[in-house]
Amino acid sequence: MTMQLQDSSARWKTFLTAAKEDEILLILSKQSSTPVLNTSFHELQSFDSEFADWVLENPRTILDTGSKVLNDICMERGGSSIDCLIRIGELPGDACIPLREIGSESIGKFCSIDVVVNKVSDIKPRLYMATFKCETCGFELDVEQKDERELKEPLRCPEVKGGCGSFVRKGETTFMLMMQASRMVNNQLIEVSELPENVPGGSQPTRGILFLERDLVLTLTPGDRVSANVIPQVRPEYKRNKKTPMFEIYYDLVSAEQESTPFTEIIIEDEDKEKIIEISQKKDLLNYLYKSIAPSIFAANEKLAYVKRTLALQLFGGVSRINEDGTRTRGDIHILLMGDPGVAKSQLLRYMSNLSPRGKYASGGGVSAAGLTAAAIKDAFGDGRFALEAGILPLSDQGLAAIDEFDKISASDQGSMHEAMEQQSIHIAKGGLTARLPTRCAVLAAANPTGGRFSDRHPNASVMYSFEETGLPAPLASRFDVIWLLRDEIVLENDERIAGHILATRSKGVAETQLERGFVSDKSDDDSVTRVGVDGVEHLTTSFLRKYVAYAKLNFHPQLNDGAKVVLQEFYRDTRQNFAKEDQGSPASQTLVPITARALEALSRLSEAHARMHLRNIATEDDAKVALAVFKHWRSENNVNDETAFHSKVPQQKMIIDREIRKIITSICYEKGQAMIEEIYDQANKKGITPNAVDDIVGKLRQGGILFSPSNDVYSFA
């Protein structure tokens, strides 16, 4: 080890002068924003493999030596002392260690950990070179500060450097800290946890604290996924102000590579790529893929089959785009599943969160706005300050967030979903912290009715009548591209098929206890491409379908061609114009809006998702027609013919009826002073309004004190 340290200065000088001449010139010319020289481990290994191994074994001392050599080179070439640093990144694969496996054997070694950022502290300045002045003789002494927890002070004024030789402990002198002459650096603490996909089942994610300095400060935000190149260090634990033999690990961050490219954590071999391309050529690809989504959940009726088709399109999603003026249009598809208990909504959500790369699952009953978006946590690092902790949506960035029991989210917390779903970012201003976190994820939500089951509605009633029963605010419905209503209907044929499928699936399952004790092998995560379900239908395995989705989203970014644009444009135009012509002259025609621009954007996303599913960079007329078929089906199935209902708690048709009845009563009262109920019925009937609707509106007006009744069936305004 001594030979390594002695030889490292010469090896650093050889490497820097031979391979990093341009970077050194850049630092000397002051064109570099920070005096930091970055190099990859591969570059150092190619130049001197033995020296690269030394860096892995004793990184702190050798990196400090390299920084001193770089400073000396800069000073030799006429530069001033600028405190240059050397940072090494892109460590080899064998240096990557799971966060939960770092223990005593890793202390002081150079290693890489794949983590996600949870909390970020404020910046704190730290002394790294403290200047002290001897009160006796006035001699100034520089003391390097290596421990951020304790200020190291001189014990004696050194005679060899020109001091008086006085001792502090003998009371001969004292030292005063000269803040003006001392040098400080910025520090920051970051709390990280291991990647969700790397957490073993039944375990809590392992967490760690990273210590950042200088140029690394403010480079990481909550929700970022990074490969952090760190040096694990230890510090003693204290109990009752006494040291214990137990130590806690913290990590000095040397460098970090952020995952700017999504889904790099999913390894796709050449053999997988060939199989993916082969499957994408299937003529009935959409049907084949939807049958691979939660195959244990039986699609007994056509509606659940259509639901699975839209979920397949949601997995692939559209393309998010940045416009020339800086505005952004989202590409992720949001889907809401409303249904009675027992229709497998939760099972679908759990499956989708596990299937989607970077998927997260949360239940509305146990999550708050802070848990969904971000929280300002006080005393996060033991210093009494506030720090940001990312919630479900930022942690699902570029993935899928499955939120069950969506209706159980409190009213105050539902407002935080609007910006997160449409703008796909959240702005936090809490506890003195102001931050913007990306939430570029698809949202799959499930909601139940407040009464336990949805009430029987009129066959022609809009889905918004059922949406009201969930208790969710109406504007939130407009954020979803597709809304499905799943009813638990009693149909003899379907009931027999469902019962047979459930029993067959249960019989084929493996006992959990045997699996945990190792008596049987787990076949759910094998490397096979396809599997045959209990119904005899072939489908893709979960692991391979995840690879398919990751490959498609990573490599294909479809754009609508002219044919697709014409199809969508004509549908948008014709729907609005034909509706106005059909209902011309009726009160509804003046205020009902059959389709808006927001629906047109949803059609574009569905078209792009279908093209991406087929591994194409161009969305054609056929893709647009499939998107229209999906769009028309869910809207006709749910009787959605008025988009203004998505923006108001009261459906627009109800608002029109209310307005017309008020006009009728006002007109009669103006002529006769009072309005008989029969007269109101007659005039309302001419406008197509039923007596039940009249009774409903009149009752509400009486409750509100707007109408009063001097005698039975006679009304006048208060």
The whole-number pLDDT of residue 479 equals 79
Q: Are 133 and 118 within one domain?
A: yes
Residue 583: its pLDDT value, please? Answer: 45
| Domain span at 10 | 1-90
What is the predicted pLDDT for the residue at 75? 81
3-state helix, strand, coil in the chain (%, to 5): 40, 25, 35
d(CA 256, CA 577): 56
Query: 121 with 23, same domain?
Result: no
Give residue-wise pLDDT tens across range 208-219: 888 888 888 888
Q: Which of 49, 75, 90 is the endpoint of a domain? A: 90
Distances (CA, A) of 578 to 461, 581, 593, 631, 697: 21, 5, 12, 18, 31
In a domain, 167, yes or no: yes
Is 160 contained in some domain?
Answer: yes
Three-state SS at 514:
helix
Mean pLDDT confidence for 406-413: 71
Residue 693 is part of a domain; what is its CATH number?
Answer: 1.10.10.10
The pLDDT assigned to 649 comes to: 47
Given this model, what pLDDT does residue 458 score? 47
pLDDT of residue 584: 44
Euclidean distance between CA atoms 330 and 395, whole angstroms: 17
CATH number for the domain spanning 220: value is 2.40.50.140
* pLDDT band at 591; cut points 50, 70, 90: very low
Residues 155 and 22 in one domain: no
For residues 100 and 249, membership in a common domain is answered with yes
Percent of all residues in the chain with a pLDDT value above 70, rounded to a whole number: 74
In CATH, what number is assigned to the domain containing residue 23?
A: 3.30.1640.10
Question: What does 280-348 look like in DSSP terms, one character per residue?
Answer: HT-TTHHHHHHTTSSTTS---SHHHHHHHHHHHHHHH----EE-TTS-EE--PPPEEEEE-TTSSHHHH
User: What total number of domains does the chain contain?
Assistant: 4
Amino acid in position 485: L
Domain boundary among 260, 291, 318: 260
Which of 393, 401, 399, 349 lies closest to 375 in space, CA to CA? Answer: 393
Q: Provide mean pLDDT across the span 425-441.
A: 74
Residues 284 and 241 in one domain: no
* Tokens representing residue 452 in the block: 């336990």
Could you tell me what percent of the chain has a pLDDT over 90?
0
What pLDDT shows up at residue 205? Answer: 79
Strand partners, 698: none
Q: Decide if 575 is inside a domain.
A: no
Secondary structure (DSSP) of 177-199: E-TTTSEEEEEEEEEEEE-GGGS
pTM of the model: 0.65
The model's confidence at residue 585, banded by pLDDT at 50, 70 and 90, is very low
Range from 489-493, 603-607, 634-638 carrying the lowest mean pLDDT: 489-493
Q: Is 593 contained in some domain?
A: no
Does some domain include residue 604? no
One domain for residues 474 and 540? yes
- Per-residue pLDDT, 127: 84
- What was the pLDDT predicted at 371? 67
Q: What is the pLDDT of residue 261?
A: 56
Band the pLDDT of 641: cuts 50, 70, 90. Answer: low
The mean per-residue pLDDT over the stretch 597-601 comes to 78
Measure the CA–CA gap between 410 and 368, rounded to whole angstroms: 7
Structure confidence at residue 588 as a pLDDT band (50, 70, 90): very low
Average pLDDT over residues 249-261: 80
> Is the confidence at residue 526, as pLDDT, over 60?
no
If asked whether residues 210 and 312 sit together in one domain, one would say: no
Q: Measured in Å, how far apart are the chain's first and last C-alpha atoms? A: 96
- 53 and 113 inside one domain: no
Measure the CA dihedral 120/121/127/128, to 10°: -10
Does residue 303 surpass a pLDDT of 50?
yes
714-717 and 328-329 strand pairing: unpaired
User: Does the residue 221 lie in any domain?
Assistant: yes
Q: pLDDT, tens digit, for every residue of 225-244? A: 888 899 898 888 877 777 78
Tokens read off for 128: 């790294």
